[in-house]
Amino acid sequence: MEIIDTYKTIKAQSEGTYKEKGSKFIGYAVACYDEEEAKSYLNEWRKAHHQARHLCYAYRFGLNKDVYRVNDDGEPSNSAGAPILGQIQSADLTNVLIGVIRYFGGTKLGVGGLVQAYKTAAKDAIQAGEIIEKKVWKHFQLQFDYETMPNLMFFLKSKQIEIEKQIFESDCILKIGIELEQEQEIIAQIENLNTVQITELGIY
């Protein structure tokens, strides 16, 4: 069985647009790794465009590109989500979410017109961004107290470990990514601190 050690995704959130008969379609493409993260982005886009008629989307996750979902958000069936997913597939992306917001212009476009509009807005969002090839890493959540922070942060920096997310509240939480060949060594050293709760998040 072939070992997958890289995949293609979007480097940073990008935006594309398409206009047709008064309707405006705004596409967003962003790297995304699970449904919870997708919901967060979708809520953010809805708030930013609360007057828009529709927010249709598609996502695809996993190294085997086998976790995906489409949503037409009230548009005719298969006129929005499926064309968006088609652009994800065409660009051979995974771990990505694309949402397209529609401001209705008063003229119906028909199913064919909608397919073209959502497809083009999604494609424009992808082209506006930068497609990168990422190495497959194993990802972990680290939970610890403030006393542990200086030693842990010094260690992570010394090993050039990427911190993907950080939350500092009553406890501290970091999400980190580690190259597969480094994983055992790095995690063993973090475990030696004794005060860090380690949760494996997955390989991607």
CATH of the domain at 115: 3.30.230.30
Q: Which residues contact 50 (CB under 8 A, 6 or more apart)?
A: none
Cβ contact 62:94 at 8 Å: yes
Q: Find where tokens 């939350």 sit.
A: 167
Query: Which stretches of the chain are DSSP H helices?
Result: 35-48, 81-90, 110-128, 149-158, 183-191
Q: What is the pLDDT of residues 79-98, one digit of tens each?
A: 999 999 999 999 999 999 99
Structural domain total, the chain: 2
| Last residue within a domain, chosen from 118, 133, 148 | 133
Residue environment code for 150-170, b if the CB has 16+ CB neighbours within 10 A, otherwise e: eebeeebeeeebeeeeeeeee
Q: Which domain holds residue 147?
A: 136-203
Q: Are 177 and 109 in the same domain?
A: no
Q: Are 76 and 122 in the same domain?
A: yes
Q: What is the pLDDT of residues 12-30, one digit of tens each?
A: 999 999 999 999 999 999 9
Q: Are 127 and 166 in the same domain?
A: no
What global pTM score does this model have? 0.83
Q: Are 35 and 107 in the same domain?
A: yes
